[in-house]
């Protein structure tokens, strides 16, 4: 029997931790991982004892985004399905009835960072790499990350990240308010749990109502179809093929705009 792709634990009263569990593939997303994440979120959302949800990853990576061995075979229609499916699942993170804290135990790149941005708060180790480097692969961030990250850091700073495709450290991310706090490897889990317990000590009805009022869901629905069409155009391009070839061969891509 294969190991579960999502592991759920209860590290403290009223606190649940959900851990992405594909360390051999850097916790990258597949159709099955999206399905497993959605199923657990739906189940946990019905639990009246939960006041805080922590999302983290197994190993030294939070999530490296989409599994590129899967994405490289996408055609335009499958790319549209991928965008819509990712939006559905990350929206369930954003709409979870209680506060959600992303504990970035390692790299959070592409869809991994989009998942973190769908959470309410983010803690991080200082050394990891964060970013939305899809343009370097001939693609775009497609799971609402452009909108959610822009709300956190503003259009100018986000533009610098996505246009260049550069990655920044957790420490740099804290400086631009992309994450709330950074800690050492040893401190991250206990400090994040202490934050969760402090939140969980408050009135559950108040937490639920505050979460509802602060929900990040507004304004993303019209964007889904637009992002789906954009990615469909990208995956049909020669540049996307070149970007993924260069990634797997560990060399610089030569883009032509075709």
Residues with catalytic roles: 114, 134
DSSP 176: T
CB hemisphere CA count around 15 (13 angstroms): 21
Burial annotation 94-111 (CB, 10 A radius, 16+ → b, else e): bbbbbbbbbbbbbbbbbb
Give CA angle at 148 (53, 231), nearest 5°.
Answer: 115
Between β-strands 15-20 and 181-183, what pairing exists: parallel, antiparallel or unpaired?
A: unpaired
Tokens of 25: 């593939």
Residues with Cβ within 8 Å of residue 122, at least 6 apart in sequence: 101, 102, 104, 116, 178, 179, 180
Pairing of strands 121-125, 100-104: parallel
């Amino acid at each position: 029997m294969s190991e579960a792709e999502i592991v759920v634990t209860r590290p403290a009263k009223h606190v649940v931790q959900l851990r992405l569990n594909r360390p051999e593939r850097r916790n990258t997303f597949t159709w099955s991982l999206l399905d497993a994440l959605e199923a657990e979120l739906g189940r946990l959302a019905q639990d009246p004892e939960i006041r805080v949800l922590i999302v983290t990853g197994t190993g030294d990576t939070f999530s490296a985004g989409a599994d590129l061995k899967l994405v490289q075979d996408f055609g335009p229609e499958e790319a549209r399905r991928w965008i819509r499916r990712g939006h559905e699942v990350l929206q369930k993170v954003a709409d979870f009835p209680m506060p959600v804290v992303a504990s970035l135990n390692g790299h959070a790149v592409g869809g991994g960072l989009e998942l973190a941005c769908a959470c309410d708060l983010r803690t991080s180790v200082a050394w990891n790499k964060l970013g939305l480097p899809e343009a370097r692969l001939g693609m775009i961030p497609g799971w609402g990350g452009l909108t959610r990250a822009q709300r956190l850091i503003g259009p100018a700073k986000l533009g610098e990240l996505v246009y260049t495709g550069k990655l920044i450290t957790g420490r740099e991310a804290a400086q631009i308010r992309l994450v709330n706090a950074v800690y050492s490897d040893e401190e991250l889990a206990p400090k994040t749990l202490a934050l969760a317990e402090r939140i969980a000590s408050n009135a559950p009805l108040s937490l639920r109502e505050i979460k509802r009022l602060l929900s990040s869901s507004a304004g993303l629905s019209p964007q889904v179809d637009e992002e789906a069409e954009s990615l469909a155009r990208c995956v049909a391009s020669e540049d996307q093929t070149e970007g993924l070839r260069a990634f797997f061969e560990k060399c610089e891509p030569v883009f032509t705009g075709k």
